Structure 1
Amino acid sequence: MRSKYLMKQSRFFLLMFNMFIAMMGFGLIFPILPDFLKEFNAGGQTAGYLVAAFGLTQFIFSPIAGRMSDKYGRKIMIIVGLLLFAISNFIFALAGHVSLLFISRLIIGIGAAAMIPSMLAYVADITTAENRGKGLSLMAASMSLGFAIGPGFGGFLAEFGLRTPLYVSAVVAAIAVISSMVLLPESLTKEKQLSAKEANRNMESVIIQFGRSIRAPYFILLVLVFSMTFGLANFEAIFPMFVDEKYNYTTREISIMITVGALIGSFIQMTLMGTLFKHFGEKSLINLTLLLSALSLILMLFSGNFYYILVLTVLFFSFTSMMRPAINTLLSKSVGEAEQGFVAGMNNAYMSLGNIFGPAVAGTLYGFSINAPNVFGAAVLVFSLYLSFSGKRSPITISKKLDS
């Protein structure tokens, strides 16, 4: 019995390591991107398109990859995703033309689509309903921690050469591929894979899968995934320019705020989510964090004091860090085992939509007013709160059905 527990623990920690490596590789590009773009005489508009390119392929391939993980297993999709991460960073490091930067980001989007939903489904495979929320919270924490450490790690390695962070990230991702091939067992039984293959959904297009998700009882939860990601991507895309232009912050001050906020958010996910679920429940935690996230975005408009903005940045990251595992837990509980991969894939697809439209809308609105992205992001979160309370298929409705 103890050996089975230890085996599950080792698998889980390997998943967390893989997620951390992937997100760190994604995040380390941010501090070096301005200098990279200068080499190609490109600027902020190109940076926005590069972010959108990642989200575009993530969006297109997430539902497909989620279904493939149900039919062919989680392990192969995780390995493919990590391999694409390594290839993407090598291409970015070797790029001699801006077109290769776009190719790199398109590839890494496919890698994220293959890997992230498969990892979430893997966690659902090896956990019970009682401890699934904690497992998903720890996965979200490893994602947040990788993203938080990535920019600082990239800035440090860039002292040895602008492309050094990318080479190091690619090598580490390649090591993760090998370790997963050797050490990570398949979590989905052959019987369940065969059942998924016989479900007669082999040729479903992305549009058809989105149609199914819209009719599903958990649709509002997927909308909340989109709005949360939209608000977070909206914030991350425009925040450095916003505080630089409005409050004259330095690059170091901006890095400190983002890193501290992401680290504290990761700490909350790793240590407090179980307690928060017990005291508030997933549905109340979602509604509360939607409201407080919107409020923190608005409050950032009223003062340029460094510590004031630092506190609000920490709060915003903390609230979104609580929101993500709460939504993921309700999504996982709302479906049977045979649908875990599909729902995880749709989760990633709606998240990628937020990653596409959040930065694009923020950049467009920023051209009209530097305050507009924060106001619009807050409005999206408040509207999502309204949907959560009033929708017929809201998180509250789902949670009540699950508890009954």
Structure 2
Amino acid sequence: MVAFRNFQRRAERGPDTRERLRLPREIKVLIAAAFVIAIGFGLVAPVLPQFAQSFGVEATAAAVIVSAFAFTRLVFAPAGGKFVERLGERPVYVAGLLIVALSTAACAFAADYWQLLIFRGLGGIGSTMFTISAMGLIVRLAPAGMRGRVTGAYASAFLLGSIGGPFLGGLLAGFGLRVPFLVYAGALLVAAAVVFFQLRDTTLGSRKSAAAQPALTVREAVRDSAYRAALVSGFANGWASFGVRMALVPLFAAAVLGAGPEVAGISLAFFAGGTALALTVSGRLADSLGRKPLVLTGLAVNGAAMAGLGLTTDVVAFLAVSVIAGIGAGILNPAQQAAVADVIGNERSGGKVLAAFQMSTDTGAIFGPILAGLLVDAFSYGWAFGLTGVTALAAFLMWTAARETLGEAGQPVRRPPAAG
């Protein structure tokens, strides 16, 4: 009842002075860098499997090249969190970009399949470094009452870049399969230079108080019901939005709907469009109405839509449900990440806590398609998409028992973790 009254008061109060706050310059730099990074990642995504097969390997080996990047991200995440706590967010961010830039450039000069596999895997190490440190920078630099808006803007930049990148990558592939890798490497060097020089003299939040206090540990964080719920919802989101959507949706379009690959590509674009539409408002709503209502809504919408995909029987319904699933993801993500930031706060470093949250998402993205694929082989696509909906339902139930991390005044609720 207390949570409902707080929600009702925020809704009745409407927009306040927080709505008039402007994004800090440092946050704008990170958002611009995110767009460049996503554009570059999209450049190599459509040509990477073809490039791997150019060395005479089968489709399975080509798919391993894609999985290697995600696998090394997952394995190296704990070390990335330690680096952030010991060295600081900015040095780790720039170093991560440089590692990905060098590994991507090396891919362009790979002489055989195994070199390509090693170089691509090394890129995953740099990727997890700048991902965790970027999340840490947002936690430290974003005003507490703007975290939803900031995470929404950051996610929008990545989304727009990931939409435009594959298109540009396809065009560049006409000049040779190695060219997109070199262009991506150059873009990452530019992004690293911009972040280094623009954030060089930035004072990070309460740096003195942060230095005086020990870093927040994962053991402390998991005592907080909101963080525990975020780990589960992060897993469910990785399973659905980054795993099953990319692995099974194209196969479903061809096998069940009898549609060509162009329909599968359009459905992914429709999903992204729904996400972009939701991101225009979801971040601000997370700052005004609270994190929990947005997370619950996003999980319900995305979970129901992903489960419903397996029941569609024509292309029109398939595309419509794809848009709804994307809207659910766009509602969920800013509020979920803002809740994790609230748990950490500006006063303490939380590299390991952020790494664990990222690992939950990556784990869902890796194992979700595998388990769903087994269900397809054993039963049907309906069972596979239904299981995806069940993971969202489990996360929904976890969040119903979790605390609201945003206080009535628009500040995080600073509650001892043991109180949950």
TM above 0.5:
yes
Tell me the equivalent position of 2:212.
195
- 1:350 and 2:360 correspond: yes
Q: Distance in 2 between matches of 1:246 and 1:93?
A: 37
Q: Distance in 1 between matches of 2:414 and 2:196?
A: 39
- Structure 1 pair 282–167 and aligned structure 2 pair: CA distance change class (3 A): same
Listed one character per residue, the Cα deviations across residues 91-114 of structure 1 (whole Å, up to 9, x for unaligned) are 332233222332233222212211
Contact 2:240 2:306 survives alignment (8 Å): no
Tell me the equivalent position of 2:16.
none
- Structure 1 pair 322–50 and aligned structure 2 pair: CA distance change class (3 A): farther
Listed one character per residue, the Cα deviations across residues 328-363 of structure 1 (whole Å, up to 9, x for unaligned) are 111111223213433322222222222322233344
Residue 63 (structure 1) aligned to one of 73, 78, 90: 78
- Structure 1 pair 179–200 and aligned structure 2 pair: CA distance change class (3 A): closer
- Structure 1 pair 98–12 and aligned structure 2 pair: CA distance change class (3 A): same
Alignment of 1:1-400 (within 5 A): 9-185=24-200, 186-188=202-204, 191=208, 194-195=211-212, 199=214, 213-217=221-225, 218-232=227-241, 233-269=243-279, 271-277=280-286, 280-337=289-346, 338-369=348-379, 371=381, 372-390=383-401, 394=402, 396=403, 398=405
Counterpart AA for 2:377: G
Counterpart AA for 2:208: E
Tell me the equivalent position of 2:18.
none
- Structure 1 pair 51–227 and aligned structure 2 pair: CA distance change class (3 A): farther
Tell me the equivalent position of 2:6.
none
Counterpart AA for 2:269: T
Counterpart AA for 2:366: I
Contact 2:42 2:163 survives alignment (8 Å): yes
Counterpart AA for 2:259: Y
Q: Distance in 1 between matches of 2:58 and 2:250?
A: 14
Q: Distance in 1 between matches of 2:181 and 2:175?
A: 12
Alpha-carbon shift at residue 122 of structure 1 (Å): 1.2
Contact 1:85 1:170 survives alignment (8 Å): yes
Counterpart AA for 1:234: V
Counterpart AA for 1:343: V
CA RMSD of aligned residues (A): 2.8
- Structure 1 pair 93–13 and aligned structure 2 pair: CA distance change class (3 A): same
- Structure 1 pair 57–302 and aligned structure 2 pair: CA distance change class (3 A): same
Secondary structure of 2:144's counterpart equals: coil
Contact 2:292 2:404 survives alignment (8 Å): no
- Structure 1 pair 352–274 and aligned structure 2 pair: CA distance change class (3 A): closer
Alpha-carbon shift at residue 309 of structure 1 (Å): 1.6
Tell me the equivalent position of 1:204.
none
Alpha-carbon shift at residue 244 of structure 1 (Å): 1.9
Tell me the equivalent position of 2:10.
none
Counterpart AA for 2:39: M
Unaligned stretches of 5+ residues in structure 2: 1-20, 416-420
Q: Distance in 1 between matches of 2:405 and 2:197?
A: 39
Q: Distance in 2 between matches of 1:135 and 1:304?
A: 39
- Structure 1 pair 163–267 and aligned structure 2 pair: CA distance change class (3 A): farther
Q: Distance in 2 between matches of 1:27 and 1:369?
A: 33
- Structure 1 pair 364–264 and aligned structure 2 pair: CA distance change class (3 A): same
Contact 2:277 2:330 survives alignment (8 Å): no
Q: Distance in 1 between matches of 2:224 and 2:123?
A: 29
Q: Distance in 2 between matches of 1:211 and 1:56?
A: 24
Q: Distance in 2 between matches of 1:16 and 1:42?
A: 38
Q: Distance in 2 between matches of 1:332 and 1:85?
A: 26
TM-score normalised according to structure 1 size: 0.85
Using the TM superposition, name which of 361-370 and 348-357 deviates more. Answer: 361-370
Secondary structure of 1:334's counterpart equals: helix
TM-score normalised according to structure 2 size: 0.82
Unaligned stretches of 5+ residues in structure 1: 202-208
Q: Distance in 2 between matches of 1:304 and 1:28?
A: 33
Secondary structure of 1:175's counterpart equals: helix
